Amino acid sequence: MSKYGAQDIQILKGLEHVRRRPSMYIGDVGLKGYHHLLREVVDNAVDEFLDGHVTKVWVKLCTKTQQAEIRDDGRGIPVSIHPKAGISTLTAVFTKLHAGGKFGKGAYTAAVAGLHGIGVKAVNALSTSLTVWTKRKKKVWVQEFVRGEAVADVAPSDRKLAQGTVVQFTPDAKIFGDARWKPAQIAAWLRDTSYLCPGLKIRLTVDGKHQDYHAAGGLAELLKKTVQDRELLADPIILSTDEFDLAFCWTDLEGEHWRSFVNVIHTPSHGTHVQGAKRAISDALNDLGDRYRGEDLRDGLMGVVHARVIEPQFKGQTKVKLENAEVETTIYEAVYRHLQRHLAENSTVAKKLRDRAQRLQKARDKFRAEQKAIKGTRVKKGARGLLPGKLVEAPDCTPAERELFIVEGLSAEGTVTAARVQMKKQKQVIHYQEVYPLRGKLANAARAADLATIAKNQVIKDLFTAIGTGVGDAFDLRKSRCAVIYLLMDADPDGKHILALLLSLFVRYMPDLIKADMLRVVQNPLFMGVTAKQRVYGNTVAEVKQQFSGKDKPIIRRFKGLGESNPTELQEYALDPKTRSVLRVVWDDENEDQLVLKYMGADSTARKELLGIE
């Protein structure tokens, strides 16, 4: 029996616990956690803006060194000795957990960076180096840190700084591995921040190139950007109070789509601020007659809500969801009263929305009957292993072992079926890869009115059956017939278009497959080079030639379609896990469906540009 005594109890000093358990403070140590460090520092500058002390924020990134620098023109950080900590207040802010100016109601009204006093301490602890400059008492002061430990005391600096604070840091590769700044993601976040902080000027500099963000229109301008080219069923509704801003409208889009923020923090899992708005919208519309389901009344709604909360209660340090119950009540009451007046003055709008909800209810009843038929489809006896849609089965393995390849047409099916890889199981060799050939026209899910409409397409209906999870209300990931789905299309514009149609289908009606990391795109090549000793693949002739020595004279062939490859070639570049090249399809942001609508909607210009079609 092992001994257990006082000597076994560890007491970690300073920020050592943050380095030992970083995910407790920033969510993870991948790309999101990496960017979370930047957000923590920028959020502090935005806090100064919200309290009326900052007008400009500069964010500078170097993608080579991964160094980040954030500057504001605010009040600066106090440098005098803190009466309780006994050290400079600046040092305490960056090294003492739970030290901050946001616990009470004196320093800030509504804080972005949270109330736990942890944010910049986590940045400091998880950076190889961090330096802070601040202007106080008509002097510029500086302090340097290495992995959370102060190198020296706060001291005067020669750096020129008119006012405000500069924080410069480099995330620690020992913590984050290969994670790197993603300028496009950062730019999108800073752009949103400018909408949420009308009047704030933000400059993003990446490797010396500048981009400025400044939006005076607030949420109304952000909603207009979010709606883009969608058809509006009614004019946008804008509501602004001391506690929150709200902008929403109904479009021809299926479902409802919210973007939510608290004190400028994006809350991807929403929370009580969205709950209050949704409940108020449903109740105001239901008060006008027969009651309908809230999701039917809000179908097509696109909304943005930004709550200002003095002491927000978030789910976790990463602030993904607001949990303040009083916020739901405040927003509900204000939105309900406003919408009652608005609907009374716009009775035609109210009737249009209620009629739409009634149609959706009828469509749902009809679709449930279709869904029941899909769910009840079974393999017939004597079908030689074929499910509806001519799925070539792999019946001798479990769903956890099985791979499903969706291919383009019967010609490709024959070659892929012949090229399938086998596995050893229970002293026998068995197939574990299934093949489903698309036949006929695949409907565009981005343009379908609803799920009932898309389910009428026989190709899609058979595909749902082949996957096995069901769809809509009946979706159950546990019933999936396979572990991974591979999309294998020809490497030409037509193949890319079919791939885009499939991705649209999964994003709109089976997003949980993507979120469960079950979707892959096979990167099949356009060209093959062959010599007596070697066979290589590439997307251009030059790429193929580069893989041979100067003495070789390969025969280079262009693939016009998967059916032209022989089984050995196809197995090598598409099916064999040891040699195939695939892309994971990831759900990186709550607005993935907006990208689908942009590229797969009624306007074909963006789609043709993406697919390289003249």
Q: Which two tokens stand for residue 211?
A: 């981009």
Torsion on CA atoms 227, 36, 317, 245, rounded to nearest 10: -30
The residue assigned the tokens 């800030």 is 108
Helix (H, G, I), strand (E, B) or coil at 394: coil
Evaluate whether 138 touches 102 at the Cβ level (below 8 Å): no
Same fold, 16-213 and 218-355: no
Q: Cβ of 533: how many Cβ atoms within 10 Å? A: 7
Q: What is the pLDDT of residue 104?
A: 39
Q: Cβ of 82: how many Cβ atoms within 10 Å? A: 17
Residue 392: C-alpha distances to residues 97, 379, 577 (Å) = 59, 12, 19
Indicate if the alpha-carbon torsion angle 316, 317, 318, 322 is positive or negative.
positive
Query: Based on the number of CB atoms within 10 Å of its own CB, is 478 exposed (0-12), middle (13-18) or buried (19 or more)?
Result: exposed
- What is the identity of the amino acid at 369? A
Residue 490 is a catalytic residue: yes
Q: Where are the domains of the chain?
A: 16-213, 218-355, 386-524+559-611
* CA–centroid distance for 213 within its chain: 22
Q: What is the pLDDT of residue 442?
A: 80
Residue 492 is a catalytic residue: yes
Q: Which two tokens stand for residue 171?
A: 């995330």
Query: Does the 16-213 domain belong in CATH 3.50.50.60?
Result: no
**CA geometry: angle at 382 spanning 376 and 387, to 5°?**
40
Nearest to 247, CA basis, from 291, 301, 303: 303
Q: What is the pLDDT of residue 42?
A: 94
Q: What is the rounded distance in angstroms from the CA atom of residue 90 to the CA atom of residue 77?
A: 6
Strands 257-262 and 265-266: antiparallel
- The residue from 229, 494, 588, 603 that is catalytic is 494
Segments in the chain below pLDDT 70: 1-14, 98-118, 316-318, 366-389, 449, 560-561, 563, 588-614
Residue 252 is a catalytic residue: no
- The residue from 434, 490, 572, 593 that is catalytic is 490
Evaluate whether 532 touches 496 at the Cβ level (below 8 Å): no
Q: What is the pLDDT of residue 376?
A: 44
Radius of gyration of the chain (CA): 29
Residue 51 is a catalytic residue: no
Helix (H, G, I), strand (E, B) or coil at 193: helix
Q: What is the pLDDT of residue 541?
A: 86
- The residue from 48, 328, 393, 408 that is catalytic is 408
Evaluate whether 391 touches 431 at the Cβ level (below 8 Å): no
Q: What is the rounded distance in angstroms from the CA atom of residue 327 to the CA atom of residue 325?
A: 5
Q: What is the pLDDT of residue 485?
A: 95
Q: What is the pLDDT of residue 403?
A: 95
Residues 6+ apart with CB under 8 A from 384: none
CATH class of 218-355: alpha beta
- The residue from 283, 396, 492, 512 that is catalytic is 492
Pick the CATH number of 386-524+559-611 from 3.40.50.670, 3.40.50.1100, 3.40.430.10, 3.40.190.10: 3.40.50.670
